[in-house]
Amino acid sequence: MKNSHISCLLFFYLLLVLATSDLIQKSCYEASKGNHANVKLDFCVSGFKGNPKAKAAYGVADLVLVSIETAIANATAIGSKISKLLDNKRVGMFARNCLKDCSELYSLAGSSLEAGLDAFQAVDYGTANAEISAALDAPVTCEDQFKEKKGLVSPLTKENNNFCQLTAIPLAFMKMVQQ
């Protein structure tokens, strides 16, 4: 009798894991299919793989929250990387100015994402969309800073590209929630 209870629990746990995996796969597929936000399917799916909150998601709305939180954490990590780059005494004046601008941009992006998270939780989708969209300016403007200043090569290109993806994902998911 005890073994049958354990077997039932294991079966239901496996169903839950499969359902969550399917939710992530389907949601990322839909986000990439519309491609209004340039969401890459593989990037989207892999971004949720190791995240326990994503694995516990019951619907797309839960994935919106997880993806916004991930983007916030990424903005913070990029800010830390910029600080480390600024500590390097060999960074030239133009690059240093670009990095300072990028630091401010990512700080603002983090604040916009926080406001977007709050708005989404309050079911104010218009404000959430506007705030998260505003965060998309950070990587684009940061990258442009380097191109405009004597053709410098940005040390943040990979981070900027990843942040674009991480910010586009909740926007695409929010569109699904609103349908």
Each residue's pLDDT expressed in tens, for the chain with a length of 179 residues: 555 545 433 333 433 343 446 899 999 999 998 755 589 999 999 999 889 999 899 999 999 999 999 999 999 999 999 999 999 999 999 999 999 999 999 999 999 999 999 999 999 999 999 999 999 999 999 999 998 877 788 999 999 999 999 999 999 999 999 98
Look up residue 90 and give its DSSP letter: T
Are 31 and 172 in contact, with CB atoms under 8 Å apart? yes
Alpha carbon 169 to chain centroid distance?
Answer: 6
Whole-number Cα distances in Å, 74 to 30, 71, 154: 23, 5, 18
Picking from 29, 48, 32, 49, the residue whose alpha carbon sits closest to that of residue 40 is 32
Give this prediction's pTM. Answer: 0.86
Are 53 and 155 in contact, with CB atoms under 8 Å apart? no
